[in-house]
Structure 1
Amino acid sequence: MVLMAPCKHIKFGLLNAGSLGTKQDEFLIAMGNHSVDIMAINETWLRSGEEDRAPSISGYKFKHIPRPVSTRGGRGGGVAFYIRNGINARVRAHPEHSTVEQLWLGLTVNKTKLLIGTAYRPPWQDLELFLDAITASVSALGPYDNIILLGDLNVNLLNSNSSKTRQLMDFFGNFNLVQTVTVATHLVNDSCSLIDIICTDALTRNVEVNHISELGHHAFITCETVFRKPKCKPRIVRFRPLADILPDYFKTDLNAIPWSDIGDLDDVDAMVQIFNTYITQLFDLHAPMKRKTYYKRPTPWITDNIRLMFRLRDEARQRSRETRLPHHKQYYLDLKHEAAAALVREKSAYFKKKYQRAKQRSQTIMAKSKIRCSP
């Protein structure tokens, strides 16, 4: 899953087409004008086997999932991606859901793993059911470095006081996603709404909402993601590689130290100073100081499973706050305790293993050298 040529950004697009079988010339012109790399389409209105009805765009591959037959007989709906040739994005198999329309891609750009998804939520579909299905997919398709979700979710984010808006924004917050579209995307006569979204935890720029009346009521939205990781301040650790000490040579040099010189001194401070000097010189010879630079603090005990458990805990907490139902609260509390206990177990196991290894190395050195230090 790599790009054929290195690049620092990818241009994504989103359009609710309201049928790919119509307005094809206008769509082809828009694609040519905006030079999108990966274009998400909602409401293709293509049934299974009808992919040939979609406009064929030179230089692009077409990936499509129709609306399930179990949902309104398969009429309407459907989600798809147009992917520029040379971008080797692969379709990822997500957990099946009988009613939620979604399609996911995996892609690696400059060693950054991306999870790219598009999903369509009809106005009549329960929002919590929809978000639960998306959560299950995002959780199952890890690990990844960044996620990009595009789609018409039919929640008007311009109405910040509605419960659905708050529910959707909380969902974004749980995954640390930023909703990049800030102006109306759907225009009908004198009314407008922001229902088409592009949200991501990657760096973005040049978000454009293009209202092309010939394409319908939904805007043609584009956004560039920038894959340049911010520099973090390195952490420098200085240490002595005690495990590299050769016990026989160490013992020989230790016994060669004139310890009697220390006993002949009358001043205690001078004795301590000379003792420290001898010891420092000995270890400088056999285990000279080394320096290692860490660009982020290692936390190997925070595994992918731990991250998933804490993510599920946060979602359960949010649902408990919203519904105030006793069984939702109890589920959150149980998950909270289990997540905390799992973190303690992972961390304890890690440091116990580190301690045992250090102890074994120390015992090995002492057993071989049998050091006896006497003035």
Structure 2
Amino acid sequence: MTRVIDETRVRPSLPQPLRSDASGSRRVTPGSGKMAPRKNASEDMEKLRRAIEFLTEEVSSVKTQQKGIFSLVEEIKALRIQNAEKDKKIERLQSRVAELEQHARLNEDFGMEGYEFVHLNRNNKTGGGVGFFVKNELNAKIVDKMTVCVDDLLECVTIEIGLEKMKNAVISCVYRAPGGNVELFTEWFGHFFNKTQMLLFICGDFNINLMNTGHRKTEQFINTVYSMGLYPTITRPTRLTCHSAKLIDNIFTNYMENSIESGILITDISDHLPIFTLFNCNYRRKKLAINGFRYKRIKTEGAMMALKQDLLHQNWELVYIEENVNAAYEKFMDMFNMAYNKHCPVKKFKESIKQINSPWVTEGLRRACMKKNSLYRHFLKKRTVEAEVKYKWYKNKLTNILRSCKREYYNKLLEGNKNNIKGIWTILNSIVRKESKGIKLPEYFTEKDKIIKDMTDVANGFNRFFVNVGPELASKISETNTSVCEDMGERNPYTMFLGSRTPPPFPVPSPTPGSRTPPPFPVPSPTLGIRN
């Protein structure tokens, strides 16, 4: 009985023959029967063959889809590269626009009437930079070859001023970063200014203490300066604290005459004391105010026409009959100056000194400001901790009071105009938008090595660039005859692949919600394909 059970477990599908024993009962004799032939073997083979053919078509379809996807990925990569190039161009344009806006803001915030602000900004950082206030009547221009900015080392802007009876003056404003390499800066300084044969003034914050003569790098810088024929005009400390006194701001020049006057100003506008140099140069001078008055020659169009008519009808016989050339010239100048002073006289005008007074600053606050300056001078003289603490406490207290008075002043103005929208906007514009005077924008723009000076053409150029960014990108995308989405076909819910062009060649039961129906045939794991 035990043997029959074991054989049944091993070979359940084989039919067992029935035999009768002596008692007439039927029993099973193991191992004595033959397996009956299966009738469905050919049908199973046919189904398996058709399933393999179906899988072959699916794999081929997936390969085609993958080729299309790879092609699409390459196109996307090319498009990203083009977009990156366009982004770089747009970034450069935005950087240029930001520079123009900053230039306009600098002229608006730091502009002075009658002066042009020439400056150089930092490359990769906000704030900082070097600059000049150049009088409009000076014949000045920027020297591009001597204007440079090196990150974390130095910033330098240079201008050249044309003089009448002397060599042109070259003036440079230099700032050395405190953490920059001193030896590299010294090498740059000697190479940059060594070939200049004109009158030279180099001013700025060098962050090299010239009073520390025992320092090797400082001595090397001083020796380089003297070897170039330059000498410092400032010899006293420009940055004072309770514990140190450093000479790090200076003006170097190669002009050895005694007509230069230099000095240090006592003011707390910065932690560095301002320095100055006065140089008597022969540029076109303007009539200076004397005792509150100034003199100006009146030259109108009518006056000049009258002068011409007077000179045409003038009797020059006295000049012609004179045999001595010098005497004839003196007579001519006397007659000419007489007519010139007659029609274009010099008149006296009262010089009006413009003072910018803040309306919220009272007389008591002005006296407090004077006391603050007095405390600062006392601190510079004594250089004690007590003097510094007293000065800083008074300065901070005064700053808070000034801000509070300014806030209260504008609050009262806004409260008084709360029913007047125009008045409110006038007040806000006076606070936010100061009137810019003398803003000098670039005179030309460059487009593909072409200089454009007409501002209408400049505006049209900007419009063309921004309008054509999208169409230019679209034109560089290669066109394909077939779409990748079309090759993918419809989604087949009964396979792990994306889709198939033909339905399966056998009936597939519909899956019920919430159940996981196994596939009707063994599906091998494909090496190429996208899983659902």
Short-chain TM bin: 0.3 to 0.5
Which has the higher Rg, Structure 1 or Structure 2?
A: 2
TM-score, scaled to structure 1? 0.43
Structure having the higher strand fraction is 1
- The TM-score normalised by the length of structure 2 is 0.31
More helix by share: 2
